[in-house]
């Protein structure tokens, strides 16, 4: 079963991550072998999903941590 990328974005809400800590959080919550999809792309592993979401501008720098980022809630699709 494939998991929508929105699930990851919602999980990120209110938290700050590095790419490494986000990868760990995704694998912890959804499993090491989880497969993800979005509205425009499918069959991604966690690493590919992070790269895709980053390229789509879904993350914003964290206010509290210079080296971390969080989800940009304005860029989560509402469907």
**Number of domains forming the structure of the chain:** 1
pLDDT digits (tens, 9 = 90+) for 20-39: 999 999 999 999 999 999 99
Q: Do the domain assignments include residue 77?
A: no
Q: Which domain holds residue 27?
A: 2-71
pTM: 0.90
35: three-class secondary structure by DSSP: strand
Q: For the domain that residue 26 is a member of, what is the CATH number?
A: 1.10.10
Check residue 1 and give its pLDDT. Answer: 86
Q: Residue 74 contacts by C-beta under 8 Å, 6 or more apart in sequence? A: none
Query: Do residues 12 and 22 lie in contact, with contact meaning Cβ atoms separated by under 8 Å?
Result: yes
Structure tokens at 33: 């072998």
Q: Do the domain assignments include residue 15?
A: yes
The dihedrals phi and psi of 56, each to the nearest 5 degrees, come to -85, 0
Q: Do the domain assignments include residue 76?
A: no
Going by pLDDT thresholds of 50, 70 and 90, the confidence category of residue 64 is: confident
Q: Do the domain assignments include residue 64?
A: yes
Distance CA 54, CA 51 (A): 5
Q: Do the domain assignments include residue 79?
A: no
pLDDT digits (tens, 9 = 90+) for 34-62: 999 999 999 999 999 999 999 999 999 99
Query: Over 70: is that where the pLDDT of 10 sits?
Result: yes
Q: Do the domain assignments include residue 7?
A: yes
């Amino acid at each position: 079963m494939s998991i929508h990328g929105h699930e990851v974005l919602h999980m990120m809400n209110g938290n700050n991550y590095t790419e490494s800590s986000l990868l760990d959080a995704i694998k912890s919550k959804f499993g090491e072998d989880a497969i993800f999809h979005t509205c425009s792309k499918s069959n991604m592993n966690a690493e590919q999903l992070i790269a895709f979401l980053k390229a789509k501008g879904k993350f914003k720098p964290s206010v509290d941590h210079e080296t971390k980022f969080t989800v940009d809630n304005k860029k989560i699709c509402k469907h």
